[in-house]
Amino acid sequence: MLKYRLIPVLILKNDRLVQSIQFKRYLPIGGAKIAIEFFVNWDVDEIVLLDIDATLKKRQPQFDLISFFARKCFVPFTVGGGISSLDDIRNVIKAGADKVCLNTAAIRFPELITRGAERFGTQCITISIDAKKNSQGEYEVYLLSGKEPTGMHPVEWAQKVEALGAGEILLTSIERDGTKQGYDLELTRQVAQAVSIPVIACGGVGRMEHFVEGILKGSAHAVAAANIFQYTEHSTIIAKAYLKKANIDIRLSSDVTYEGFTIDEAGRIT
């Protein structure tokens, strides 16, 4: 069985990294180029860069920034935002990304999933699914940073993208995003158990325990977060040490492992 993965998500808006809160508020954190310097040394398994302005403003991905990241990054690197054609996929991969993350374009042009998978391999195609409960209390997929409802249940869409050739799913709970309340375990479990491709849980992590819950209770194949990793030195290494203490099979290869330390739920060394 493949090891579980820990993945930082870097959210880019107005050319700055931001902290997202329920897809409504965005608090500036700093420069993306500075962040990548830290994360590549913090034993992460992958890095995801999401440019949330690109699709809304109908512009192409920032190829210069992608190339900069690719030169610094020694782990799999996924890019999302502004990718709406096979040429965009080709150019993002040419710029150095290992995978592309499709969201709005995948729903509007489902054939792009199949064409991308056939041309570049299923392992290169990640589908981002943003979901929350609608006014009827049912989970629903939303587009354009949570602004446009699709009428589709996330399980329905997840099964469809798998059939179309997607290699994995990045599943984000809009309601939990930035709340520090933990993953939406019901949503994560429903989707993860309905497909055979890996599901990455995202949205809501506030304590180290939430990573464990995402795997053991949410059935996720990987756990991702954005905000919690931005403010603490070695945060991803500490998170991995916490996961290993919970008997989660995850790679921990840094020279500094914190395995001999006690780590509280907030990620503090005690």
Q: Is there a catalytic annotation at residue 130?
A: yes
Cβ atoms of 84 and 115 closer than 8 Å: no
Gyration radius of the chain's alpha carbons: 17
Identify whether the C-beta of residue 54 lies closer than 8 Å to the C-beta of residue 211.
no
Q: Which of 43, 45, 51, 130 is catalytic?
A: 130
Do residues 7 and 200 touch, judged by C-beta distance below 8 A? yes
Element (H, E) at 244: helix 235-245
Structure tokens that stand for 43 in this block = 């034993």
Residues in CB range of 50: below 8 A, 6 or more apart:
9, 10, 11, 12, 79, 80, 81, 101, 128
Q: Which helix (H) or strand (E) holds 69?
A: helix 63-72
Distance between start and end Cα atoms, the chain? 32
Q: How far is C-alpha 66 from the chain's CA centre?
A: 16
Residues annotated as catalytic are 130
